Amino acid sequence: MMLLDPIEIVPADQVGPVHFIAAGGSGMSGIARLYSELGIRTSGSDQSDSTALQGLARAGVSTYVGHSADQIGDANTVVISSAIREDNVELVEARRRGLRVWHRSAALAALMLGKRAIAVAGTHGKTTTTAMTAVMLSEAGVDPSYVIGGPLSTTGVSSAAGSGDAFVVEADESDASFLQYPTEIAVITNIEADHLVNWGTPEKYAAGFRTFATQPNVRRVVINVDDHGSRALAEELISDGHDVIRYGEAEDADVRFTDVVAHGGGVKATLTYGDEQGPIILQVPGNHNLANACAAYAVGRLLGLTHDQAVDALGRFEGTLRRFQLITDTAGIRVYDDYAHHPTEIRAALTAARRATAAGNEATGLAGRLIACFQPHLYTRTVDFADEFGEVMTLADVAVINDVCGAREDPIPGVTGELVVDAARKAGAEEVVYVKEKYDLPAALNDMAQPGDLIITLGCGDVTIVGPLLADLLKQRPDAKVS
């Protein structure tokens, strides 16, 4: 996979019919849905069936399981992601016919033309911050369009075509997609080295965010000053005269949260912006989500919301799928699933999980443990961050490590989940178990789980199948009682 250069685009209503290769992907499915909603004849294929692909079929998209050259039909435009290889039979046929071939970022940018574009970028927190912003604007009556990298927990979908002029998107930095969008408000949640197989060095990766924040269309930058990388960029931008809104816990944040306390399953704090101050109560836990909410709040104020409108609407956000998502509470054992796949994301997820474990122990009088089940994602990322993955696993009482989910990458000799196991043991993790096959994970977790335990599956690969399979096993226990 290489970095992408922005290309010239035409409005979405001029590109159809359109065919999406790998339409069931988290980024692709939301875009395909919007093309179909615009009345453009839309089709899509993926190598395997999924709930996302089935949802597209219900939305009027012609869907196919598997790839075949004839499935692109009479499409004028074929949309691909960075994961699609050049030898994909549908892509080969599209190039043979001389069809327009767009990366998904170009297809999304075409939908954004003529709208007030809000692009949310960052190493971590993009999906939740984009979702919070979209829900906040929707709840406040702005009726935005949006494309999020994961489905909302309340609707099960990741995109919508609104009647308002705001268009909120999750902007992917991994392949420089975020440079394609006609961004007016640029949001940066943090900058921490990742995707170095594409960018080469941490310095080049960070420089990509500066390019993102200083594109010609960008009028305001909303940026996290609690994170070292994004704070450094904020200081550069301010020094160069750019219009910046800083957010976080830091004393110099323009949108600041303080006085943090747990509140039910969520969190409560004081939010301050200029002379305005008051409580903010979220239904999702963790300081990282308060930071995400501050970013969304700043966007809302820039788009004309009042303090009360923004705070009240953010309080109605219920999360996205695979972000600290409760799968089951059965036989006294809670099982969560989280998309975290970078060490910093995992640290945030396990910190929230540790608080939830402690709260559960206090409520029940049990000595429940925190069990983290982690599937490393990508061979290159595992090599880059094996030691950091091992260190963060020390936050759990028990670390269960799966083999690497290679996804779009070819295997690298010697790179397996055992690298993380060795690193975790070296870092002092209390108990580390290696389970190579993912389909063995549910039984292994069921065997070790005791009443009071909290189990969280972590990773952006197919580890997400483990929670529901484990839930079925827990239901078979004699003392099973589903909450």
Buried b (16+ CB within 10 A) or exposed e, 249-281: beeebbbbbeeeeeeeebbbbebbbeeeeeebe
Q: Could you report the per-residue pLDDT of 208-232, keeping only the tens digit for each?
A: 999 999 999 999 999 999 999 999 9
Give the residue among 192, 195, 148 at the shortest CA–CA distance from 175.
195
Residue 37 lies in a domain: yes
CA distances from 3 to 94, 333, 338, 447 (A): 22, 44, 27, 44
Q: Does the pLDDT at position 355 exceed 80?
A: yes
**How many domains does the structure of the chain reveal?**
3
Q: Does the pLDDT at position 404 exceed 90?
A: yes
Q: Is 258 annotated as a binding residue?
A: no
Region 286-301: mean pLDDT is: 95
* 382 vs 389: CA distance, rounded Å: 8
Region 438-455: mean pLDDT is: 96
Q: What is the amino acid identity at position 41?
A: R
Output the six-digit token pair for 295: 């970013």
Number of Cα atoms under 13 Å in the Cβ half of residue 90: 29
Residue 268 designated active-site = no
Q: Could you report the per-residue pLDDT of 236-260, keeping only the tens digit for each?
A: 999 999 999 999 999 999 999 999 9
338 and 449 in a single domain? The answer is yes
Residue 319 lies in a domain: no
Q: Is 124 annotated as a binding residue?
A: yes
- Of 170, 184, 345, 391, the active-site residue reads 170
Q: Does the pLDDT at position 1 exceed 60?
A: no
- Of 127, 272, 328, 380, the active-site residue reads 127
342 and 273 in a single domain? The answer is no
Q: Is 380 annotated as a binding residue?
A: no
- Examine the fold and report which residue of 54, 73, 102 is the final residue of a domain before the chain moves on: 102
Q: What is the CA radius of gyration of the chain?
A: 22
pLDDT for the residue 121 = 97
Percent of the chain whose predicted confidence (pLDDT) is above 90: 78
355 and 225 in a single domain? The answer is no
80 and 27 in a single domain? The answer is yes
Host H or E run for residue 36: helix 26-37
- Examine the fold and report which residue of 314, 348, 375 is the final residue of a domain before the chain moves on: 314
Q: Is 77 annotated as a binding residue?
A: no
φ and ψ at residue 61, rounded to 5 degrees: -85, 135
pLDDT for the residue 286 = 84
Q: Is 128 annotated as a binding residue?
A: yes
* Beta-ladder partners of 330: 333, 482
- Examine the fold and report which residue of 266, 295, 314 is the final residue of a domain before the chain moves on: 314
Which residue is associated with the tokens 């909450």?
483
88 and 194 in a single domain? The answer is no
Residue 257 in contact with residue 280, Cβ under 8 Å?
A: yes
How high does pLDDT run on average in the chain?
93
Residue 203 designated active-site = no
Region 317-331: mean pLDDT is: 85
Residue 248 in contact with residue 291, Cβ under 8 Å?
A: yes
310 and 329 in a single domain? The answer is no
Q: Could you report the per-residue pLDDT of 193-211, keeping only the tens digit for each?
A: 887 888 889 999 999 999 9
pTM of the predicted protein model: 0.79
Residue 189 in contact with residue 129, Cβ under 8 Å?
A: yes
Q: Does the pLDDT at position 481 exceed 80?
A: no
Q: How large is the greatest C-alpha to C-alpha distance in the chain, in angstroms?
A: 67
285 and 403 in a single domain? The answer is no
Q: In which domain, by residue range, is 83 found? A: 12-102
Query: Residue 247: which CATH number?
Result: 3.40.1190.10
- Of 42, 90, 93, 126, the active-site residue reads 126
Output the six-digit token pair for 237: 């931008």
Q: Does the pLDDT at position 483 exceed 70?
A: no
126 and 97 in a single domain? The answer is no
Banded pLDDT at 264 (limits 50, 70, 90): confident
Region 349-368: mean pLDDT is: 89
* Beta-ladder partners of 223: 188, 246
Q: Does the pLDDT at position 116 exceed 80?
A: yes
Q: Is 127 annotated as a binding residue?
A: yes
288 and 155 in a single domain? The answer is yes
pLDDT for the residue 154 = 80
Banded pLDDT at 180 (limits 50, 70, 90): very high
63 and 148 in a single domain? The answer is no
64 and 144 in a single domain? The answer is no
Residue 481 designated active-site = no
416 and 268 in a single domain? The answer is no
pLDDT for the residue 307 = 97
Output the six-digit token pair for 162: 């609104």
Q: Could you report the per-residue pLDDT of 447-462, keeping only the tens digit for each?
A: 999 999 999 999 988 8
Buried b (16+ CB within 10 A) or exposed e, 297-313: bbbbbbbebebebbbbb
Q: For the chain, give percent helix, strand, coil, nearest 5.
A: 40, 25, 40
Residue 4 lies in a domain: no
Region 141-170: mean pLDDT is: 91
